[in-house]
Amino acid sequence: AQKVTQAQTEISVVEKEDVTLDCVYETRDTTYYLFWYKQPPSGELVFLIRRNSFDEQNEISGRYSWNFQKSTSSFNFTITASQVVDSAVYFCALSAYTQGGSEKLVFGKGTKLTVNP
């Protein structure tokens, strides 16, 4: 069965520090997708990125970057020059299928990031 592990339960940094959130996954699928979501205090999950298993190129979007390493089954997320607005719970998720064949996401337990001014 698919599994996502986010070993860091909580991280606290000072503004402008760089921070990396770890994500390790387990799957037997040969083709799969990985996702990151942000959950600010308001509660709504905000989609950040989708990456398929065939694309191991790192991706950068502004202060955000993602490092996908198939060899270690990891999909880590780095925030450069963190800001207070980055404070949120971040979830890593992995594609899976229900018994009925429909798509579903398997989520890690999340990492709570607090950026202090």
Nearer to other proteins, 66 or 91 (CB): 91
Residues binding other proteins (CB under 8 A):
4, 33, 35, 37, 42-47, 50, 52, 91, 95, 98-100, 102-105, 107-110
| Cβ atoms of 26 and 73 closer than 8 Å | yes
Q: What's the min distance (Å) between Cβ of 108 and other proteins?
A: 6
Q: Which amino acid is at 23?
A: C
Nearer to other proteins, 19 or 108 (CB): 108
Q: What's the min distance (Å) between Cβ of 41 and other proteins?
A: 12
CA 88 to chain centre: 12
Nearer to other proteins, 2 or 80 (CB): 2
**Residue in the block written with tokens 């398997």:** 106
| Element counts in the chain: helices (H) and strands (E) | 0, 12
d(CA 38, CA 74): 18
Q: What's the min distance (Å) between Cβ of 56 and other proteins?
A: 17
